[in-house]
Structure 1
Amino acid sequence: MVVLYSKSEIEKIKEASLVVKEVFKQLKSYIKPGISTKDVDKLVEDVIYSMSAIPSSKGYYGFPGSCCTSVNNVVVHGIPDDNTILKDGDIISVDVVANKNGFHSDACRTFPVGNISAEAECLIKVTKEAFFKGIEFAKVGNRISDISHAIQTHVEAAGFGVVREYQGHGVGRNMHEEPSIPNYGRPNRGFRLKSGAVLAIEPMVTYGNYSIKVLADKWTAVTVDNSIAAHYENTVVVTNDKPLILTIEDEA
């Protein structure tokens, strides 16, 4: 069942979104060569707690981090650790979910580490663009797969792969709610969008083949062909007008 949130409840989700936005604001200047993914996790955790919120991912089905840190060929669910040191030319996707007063907000950004290749820059750019192509269809009366189809079309036109195994989702009182939002598929299928639906829309894009595998830790998902991957996500409210993006940077 898809939850439709009231105006007062959406205000609560906005409060959680302010926490996520502050995390990304600080990460933008913090991420650099020489720090570990555990350092990234600590900054995320410190910012979330400093704003009277809770990192939703910590302990979720046993996940140990306050965020997911996915470097280079890791698509999603990278576990922060002391041994993964960021190097010049790396890219890192940081997926953050904050719970404030019982409401969650979810977003992800892929950051460059130092000077990255033109190919990596293009991948990050296309992944972000795909999100915005998708939310053009996040309007009352459209269906979920209209978003999916727009994302896939943009990504594949650029020659990149769209991950199949992981999808966007509803978000609000729980970190993961209905509906599921694939990043690929034919249009005009699935839940018909209504005002008050809150969606975490999140293109996950690979430079090469879209096939992935999950490592022995049962979390870390990597590309089979070892190509790099990018991830861009925001928490979005469907309204009777344009979609409202709660986690977008103020300068964007």
Structure 2
Amino acid sequence: MMISIKSGREIELMRQTCALASRTLEYIEPFVKPGVSTEELNKLCHDYILENNAYPSPLNYHGFPKSVCTSLNEVICHGIPSKKDVLKDGDILNIDVTTYLNKFHGDTNKTFLVGNVSDEVRKLVDVTYQCMREGINQVRPGGHIGDIGAVIQEIAHGYGYSVVEDYCGHGIGREFHEEPQVVHIGKKGTGPEMKPGMTFTIEPMINLGTKYSKVLKDGWTVLTKDGKWSAQFEHTILVTESGHEILTLRQEENATF
């Protein structure tokens, strides 16, 4: 398994594309409200990314037809934006943005609350964010990829939630998806050793019900098998000499990490 170790110059280029990805999520947030279609959100993100001299990585990736993924309520991931999917009060929507700038990819996502979300679902979203945050806190030189999944699994199961196992985080850089795979379950001390210069995503998908999923006939949209709702958050992480750097950190999160 070849895991890319980024040079100082490559890391600087990663910072630039990741900063654009995070700014795209910040830009789109005011538009995430009842009455707006996911197709409208896709176009806004698409135009914003192009205006910043970049390209939306998902567009035409293995045939994916849109510029971002929009995963609504029971959709776990890879939801395709559509005019038919119009946001309603109480929904949750994950928007997954990946930008391609200066030949490097930056990947991040956020689950947005649409209007007045139930306490049950709001708690799921909060715990999912906590899972990602504590997973990120495991990233340090000499640690192991399994450390990340172990803490995510412990937190999610502690609240009675399930962790999606069919989809995972991944290395990222010149390629959209590189080694290593970053699964969101596991045992501490297992998996590849983390080394300075590695860049990868941590993106736990946490479900109210079963961990099992199904894919629609479109070949992309992944739903929970039991129809219960799912939440997800994602950041691109750099392993540094002393710990880690969150390359896609948003301004709203400066006090969180």
TM-score normalized with structure 1 length: 0.98
1:28-77 Cα distance to aligned partner (Å, 9 max, x none): 21100001110110111011111100000000000001000000000000
- Percent sequence identity over aligned pairs: 40
- Segments of 5+ residues of structure 1 without an aligned counterpart are none
1:54 paired residue number: 55
Residues 1:148 and 2:149 aligned together: yes
- Deviation by residue 1:58-99 (Cα, 9 ceiling, x = unmatched): 000000010000000000000011111110100001111000
Match in the other structure for 1:184: 185
Cα distance in structure 2, aligned partners of 1:132 and 1:201: 9
User: Counterpart of 1:142 in structure 2: which amino acid?
Assistant: G
1:106 has 2:141 as partner: no
Q: How far does residue 22 in structure 1 lie from its aligned partner after superposition? A: 1.4
Q: Matches of 1:229 and 1:92 in 2, distance apart? A: 10
Task: Give the secondary-structure state (helix, strand or coil) at the position aligned to 1:34.
Answer: coil
Aligned to 1:80: 81
Aligned to 1:23: 24
1:155-183 residue CA offsets vs partner (Å, 9 max, x unmatched): 11111110010000000001100000000
Q: Given that residues 22 and 47 in structure 1 are in contact (C-alpha distance below 8 angstroms), is that contact kept between their aligned partners in structure 2? A: no
Instruction: Give the TM-score normalised by the residue count of structure 2.
Output: 0.96
Trace 1:1-252 onto structure 2 (pairs within 5 A): 1-252=2-253
Unaligned runs of 5+ in 2: none
Q: Distance in 1 between matches of 2:157 and 2:51?
A: 41
Query: SS of the residue aligned with 1:129?
Result: helix
Deviation of 1:211 after TM superposition, in Å, equals 0.8
The farther-off stretch of 23-32 and 191-200 is 23-32
Q: Deviations over 1:99-147 (max 9, x none)?
A: 0010000011000111111111111111111011112211100110011
Per the TM alignment, residue 251 of structure 1 is displaced from its structure 2 partner at its CA by 2.8
Moved more, 74-83 or 17-26: 17-26
Query: What letter matches 2:218 in structure 1?
Result: D
Calculate the aligned-residue CA RMSD, in Å.
0.8
Moved over 3 A (4+): none
Separation (CA, whole Å) in 1 of partners of 2:148 and 2:185:
8
My pick for the range that moved more, 233-242 or 52-61, is 233-242
> C-alpha separation between the residues in 2 aligned to 1:136 and 1:74?
27
Counterparts of 1:130 and 1:230, CA distance in 2: 11
